Amino acid sequence: MKKCYYARSFLRVSLAAILSLFAFFPVLAAAIPPAGIITGKVTDETGGPLIGTTVVVEGTMRSTSADENGNYRIDVPESGRVLVFSCIGYQTRKIPIDGKTVINVQLQPDQKSLGEVLVVGYGVQKKMTVTGAVSSIGTKELLQSPAANISNMLVGRLPGLVAVQRSGEPGQDGSSLKIRGIGTLDAGKGSDPLIMVDGVERSNINQIDPNEIETINILKDASSTAVFGVRGANGVILITTRRGKIGKPQLSFTSSIAAQKPTQLPEMLNSYEYATLKNEALVNAGQQPYFTQDDLDKFQSGEDPVFHPSIDWFDMMLRPYSTQSQHNLNISGGTELARYFISGGYFDQNGAYRYADYNPEFSANPKYKRYNFRSNFDFDVTKMFTVKVNLAGQVEDQNYPARSAADIFFDVLKANPFSSPGIVDGKMVTLDKAVNGTNPLMTMLNAGFQQIFKSNVNASVILGHKLDFITPGLSARGTVAYDSWYQHSVSRSKNNVTWLAVKDPANADNVLYVPQGEETTLGFSESYGKNRKIYTELALDYTRAFGPHNVGGLLLYNQSKAYAPGLTYKVPNAYQGLVGRVTYNYKSRYLLEFNMGYNGSENFPEGKRFGWFPAYSAGWVASEEAFFPKNDWVTFLKIRGSYGEVGNDKISDIFNGGARFLYLPSTYGYSGGYNFGEVGSSYQWYGGSYEGQLGNPDVTWERAVKMNAGLELKLFNDRFSFTGDYFEEKRNNILAQRGAVPGIVGVSSLPAYNLGRVSNKGFEIEAGYNDNVGKLNYWVKANYSLARNKVLFKDEAPKTYAYQNETGNPVGQYIGLIAEGLYNTWDEINDPKRPQSSYAAGTGGRDGLQPGDVRYRDVNGDGIINDDDRMPMGYSQFPQVIYGFSFGGNYGGFDFSVLFQGADKASVYLSEMAAWPFDTDWRNAMKIHLERWNEERYAAGEEISFPRLSPSPAGHNYQYSSYWLKDASYLRLKNAEIGYTFRKGFLDRIKVSSLRLYANGMNLLTWSSLKTYDPEAPAGRGQFYPQQKVFNAGLNLQF
């Protein structure tokens, strides 16, 4: 049994709009008097019922759809002559009525319709004739992930898309997305792709409700992105939202609730373990142990939980689980004259701070709420003139501690297990003369909380008109879009009373709690932010066939103007551009395409302000050749290639004070000064002035030259599909700041220059197979992507050796000492041939190393370990390899899917509290530090992962080296889902066409060599909100 899906929908503007639509359609129906009733059954090519097929009386607004058995019933007016049967993925059929009262129809698959039309830049093309590198995903696959946002749903599903999630904090847990890795000097936002929603640039992919999305297409090569010119250098993500289809109203409701928990947290030492290791570290340094045997006994027994506490601060600060929920309601439908899609959604995600509600006046727990609204309307005013009206809104309501997650988790790792007993009898307790008396609870609670309200409105109107009266195939369209964003932040803070624990002088077994400080009233501060943008577009489209020759064309003008208080110079930011495309194919066999963008930017001087970005592509569909054997083994074969240029004009975020008008110097600044004159008469102070940032009159476009070669293949009667691409990119004239400037240059800031060059190359493959065994339908998919970049030139002060420069290495390459294990014996230490360490002072011409210290490679062979021995180590933090493997199927009412996702050739550098015990003397330590080197453990052959302990990490063992660089490769069970769909029985009585119950999860299992943190953890000290695994259950009702 197959099901034909119209586009699902989602409730949008308001309940009043929905009710008005329901009231509207009966009126229309009543306007056409019925003449008779026709019934029948719609089946597929196998004779099975084709559920949901749309049946329309041609030339009227009368329509219906086939039920779960493929049966339909429709009232036909007197004017009715023909019934039109349509279903996505099948060829549309028109059947004359000719007085019949029963019409049964069998539809045949349309191999060139379902999944064969792709949205590309400013248009759509048949997938068969596309010559660029494009990957696509639909709503169904997105919704298999119970993720909080779109960026996390895309992970592992598309070749060429690299996604890394650095945080799990509610509302801040989106992934950083890169297309085909990093091709410029900036590994941050400067290498992020362009986001387009329904043809208009939008700033944040993560605000969109996934239930609103029809498809997401990733444009990767120059042929696909050249039309975006200035904005297309880093690739483009095209999001197409859902629209109404002809048919009676279809109502859908989805609801789910989930539990979240951290994917991985470091295990910390208890107080007894900490004290034991700290004493060992002091003895290693020739000092006396700090903790007495009485201290150790009390820590071990737990008999004195107040003055000898043993607190796991991760457990104290975090609950085991937090909650997440998502709810969606949508409706869609329409007639030949008007179609609609209306949606509304609510998403709620809670943080896991255990004592966030300690103060009854407020909660410091992270809480993120998002409300989504969307309405897309399509009107066929006449056969020649169409109107599309799109209105979307996102409202975000956020609550956070006034201190950032980075500050809170810094103190979680900073606090040792006996710094405070934490919360005792509802009191926040401190200890007198506690060693490193950090209390993360005070960090979180004493700063108060902040509430952030954001609203975003996106509106657009698209007018289209066929110009066949001029020449067949010609049409014109115009778009006006308006975006408005607003933010209001409120911060409230107060001091809480803490309680000092002291022993009762009258009873040594009793503990007194003495209040410290006074509780204050809530303070108040607020801030606002806003911006708006107006975008306009005018286009001419042309599509026509001349016998076997198919031609197409696009000429488009666009401009945008953005207004924001944070813009440098307070001047609106503007863009202008022309877009062109010419396509040609002969019998869908020989394919040629030319794309171009011609853009103007405010950042460059006259004469260099406009840039032209062309791209050329060609393809050959060999399987369409007459000589190609016609069989079920090889059913489709296409070879394609592209070459072209795209550009960039930005060096920083202009909406947050970033540089603009790069060719103009800024004004003079004033500070400092000198005294001049004669003492006692004219001696006085004269203020100084200095020259601000200089302008560069020669600055121009950053350009990326891209080449792509691809192969598409289908085998075994289209059951197996394969797509492979090889790509190269050379980015030149990269906008960057000078790095090799003498300190005597007397300006505060030099301008941007076209200095950098980066190359990036790699390949990607995607394969899939689908088939059935009896009633079991199944599918398997896999993708693999490799992108490797290299800095060809960056302006930087030269290092001692060329390989220590960023030039010649990958973007973000770690440079440090190469660790080669540990010295284990005094014989190794006393070896006269051993290189001497400049990081460990000694006597008599020898360093102060001991057994248990790190052994570094003497790279330059000079017999001394120093900074000249630093060299490239490991990989950058962004993985070079990303891959995914998924499978699923359905049997009867059951369906399931599983996605494994992984990354390789990535490294993360952990330091200080994230890696070292006793940082700055008394910070926390982890269970893995029990694997430290000492003579007893070495002699016993026990596992050793850390050098000998030091009371305060510094010097030789803690240099920037490969010893602390960790392999960040991993394999995850990213998603798993199982569901069951009910279609008959009691559902008929409540007018429900289907009920689907499902359970799914995200980040369920992770295999990684990193023992302490999630492998996607950011580099540094471990001060981040942990990534989350999600266990989710939900239902979907179709009415």
Q: What is the DSSP string of 668-689?
A: -EEEEEEEES-TTTT-EEEEEE
Q: What is the pLDDT of residues 716-762, one digit of tens each?
A: 988 999 999 999 999 999 988 888 888 777 666 788 889 899 999 99
pLDDT of residue 398: 96
CA dist., res. 159 & res. 287, Å (int) = 57
Q: Which region holds residue 905: left if phi is over 0, alpha if psi is between -120 and 50, else beta?
A: left
CA dist., res. 799 & res. 810, Å (int) = 16
Among the four given CATH numbers 3.30.1330.90, 3.40.50.300, 3.30.1360.120, 2.60.40.1120, the one describing domain 2-106: 2.60.40.1120
Q: What would the two tokens of residue 394 be?
A: 């996102």
Is residue 990 exposed (0-12), middle (13-18) or buried (19+ Cβ within 10 Å)? exposed
Beta-strand ranges (E) seen in 366-434 are 367-380, 385-401, 422-424, 427-431
Q: Which residues of the chain have pLDDT under 50?
A: 1-34, 111-115
- Residue 196 makes CB contacts below 8 A (sequence gap 6+) with 121, 202, 228, 236, 237, 238, 239
pLDDT of residue 535: 96
- Residue 293 makes CB contacts below 8 A (sequence gap 6+) with none
The position carrying tokens 């975000």 is: 396
- Residue 565 makes CB contacts below 8 A (sequence gap 6+) with 529, 530, 531
Q: Give the DSSP H/E element, type plus range, for residue 544.
A: strand 525-546
What strand order describes the sheet that includes 105-106?
Answer: 71-77, 34-43, 105-106
* Single-letter residue type at 105: V
Count Cα neighbours of 964 within 13 Å in the Cβ-side half-sphere: 25
pLDDT of residue 89: 61
pLDDT of residue 433: 82
pLDDT of residue 739: 84
The position carrying tokens 């509430």 is: 451
Residue 291: CB atoms within 10 Å: 20
pLDDT of residue 991: 77
pLDDT of residue 733: 92
Nearest to 229 by CA among 642, 618, 542, 601: 601
User: Please, what's the b/e burial string for 1003-1014 (b: 16 or more CB within 10 A of its CB; e: otherwise)?
Assistant: bbebebebebbb
CA dist., res. 954 & res. 957, Å (int) = 7
Q: What would the two tokens of residue 167 be?
A: 């945080």
Is residue 96 exposed (0-12), middle (13-18) or buried (19+ Cβ within 10 Å)? exposed
Nearest to 145 by CA among 136, 137, 154, 133: 154
Q: What is the pLDDT of residues 784-808, one digit of tens each?
A: 999 999 999 999 988 999 999 999 9
